[in-house]
Amino acid sequence: MFFLVDPFFYEIVISGLLAGVMYALVALGFVLIFKASGIFNFSQGVLALFAALTLVGFQTGQIPFAHLLSLFGIHATHWGAGFPTVIALLFSLLVMIGLAWLIVQIVLKPLVNQEGIILFMATIGLAYVLEGVGDLMWGANVKMLDVGLPKGPVEFIFDTTDVMIDKLEISAAVVAIILVVLLTLFSAYTKMGRALRAVADDHQAALSVGISLETIWWIVWSVSGIVALVAGVMWGAKSGVQFSLSLIALKALPVLMLGGFTSIPGAIIGGLMIGLGEKLFEFYIGPMIGGATENWFAYMLALLFLLFRPQGLFGEKIIERV
């Protein structure tokens, strides 16, 4: 059949799968925090934005809060040429770990044992606060991010098959696979991973057996911040660092509904299904119904899962006895 040998078909499939990996990178942060604390972290997309803004700031030598400092007669915008990429990544990593500590101390610690909806609302407020702080620190203009990752089509594959595959998307796929393996091993086979699951099940019971809730939350929010940094780097390198980057969290929601809120591998499978599904649907069905189906296909698929399998493919079925 034609569509089995058409190079453009293979290009769509590969592009969809690699886009799905990018969605899954964001979804991983949601899964980590939900598994460890039972909190649906609405601010994960903004964390990715904040991490990318911070990295660009360190790379370019931009002074944080330069616009505010100008009110006091300080008009300098840069302290120098900036750090090399590796050093900038290291400092950005430290910032995300420090930010995780602040979130735990200021937002989460006062809300121990509160209802899940209260914690969810707290993360919504946190998202808007971080977005505003990021704007004040680094400005709202679009920023280019270059961390040395290869870009452009893979020449060998393009020359032999006419299939165009972006090197950046392949790099994102490799990083995502490594993260999934490491996080799965950490969650399943380490003492800290078991402690994370215990905290998610029952805060008070975890405290009664000597598990430090504050420490556990700090660790998991730090790991989630690292995942957000990776996602921000990949998305920022692909499309520039801009405040619309925070909206990728919305595309991560259908990924979670398909893969399950508690499954790390499920985040990857859900991302691949969304990425591949929306590309194929747009290619075959889109022209018949006016196009632009990528804007809503993922949410339509998520709605079907909510109706027939609300826990997702790999999520744990929740049974409450009354």
**pLDDT value of position 58:** 94
**pLDDT value of position 218:** 87
Q: What is the pTM of this model?
A: 0.84
pLDDT bracket for residue 26 (50, 70, 90):
confident
Residue 210 near residue 111 (C-beta atoms within 8 A): no
User: Is it the case that residue 2 has pLDDT exceeding 50?
Assistant: no
Distances (CA, A) of 232 to 28, 43, 49, 147: 13, 13, 6, 11
Q: What is the pLDDT of residues 111-132, one digit of tens each?
A: 877 787 888 899 999 999 999 9
Q: What is the pLDDT of residues 174-201, one digit of tens each?
A: 887 888 788 778 877 777 777 776 666 6
Q: Which residues contact 267 (CB under 8 A, 6 or more apart)?
A: 24, 27, 28, 30, 31, 180, 255, 256, 259
Q: What is the DSSP string of 81-127?
A: S---HHHHHHHHHHHHHHHHHHHIIIIIGGGTT--HHHHHHHHHHHH
- For residues 42 and 116, what is the distance between their CA atoms, to the nearest angstrom? 12
**pLDDT value of position 122:** 92
User: Is it the case that residue 322 has pLDDT exceeding 50?
Assistant: no
User: Is it the case that residue 321 has pLDDT exceeding 60?
Assistant: no
- For residues 69 and 67, what is the distance between their CA atoms, to the nearest angstrom? 5
Q: What is the pLDDT of residues 216-261, one digit of tens each?
A: 888 888 988 998 898 888 888 887 888 877 777 777 888 888 888 8
- For residues 143 and 233, what is the distance between their CA atoms, to the nearest angstrom? 12
Torsions phi, psi of 139, nearest 5?
85, 160
Q: What is the pLDDT of residues 274-308, one digit of tens each?
A: 989 998 898 888 888 887 888 888 899 989 888 88
Q: What is the pLDDT of residues 34-73, one digit of tens each?
A: 877 777 888 888 999 999 999 999 999 998 888 787 778 7
Residue 63's H or E segment, with its range, is none
Ramachandran class of 225: left when φ > 0, alpha when ψ lies in -120 to 50, beta otherwise: alpha
**pLDDT value of position 9:** 79
For Cα atoms 13, 249, 179, give the angle at the middle one, nearest 5 degrees: 65
**pLDDT value of position 318:** 56
User: Is it the case that residue 92 has pLDDT exceeding 90?
Assistant: yes
- For residues 304 and 119, what is the distance between their CA atoms, to the nearest angstrom? 27
Residue 56 near residue 143 (C-beta atoms within 8 A): yes
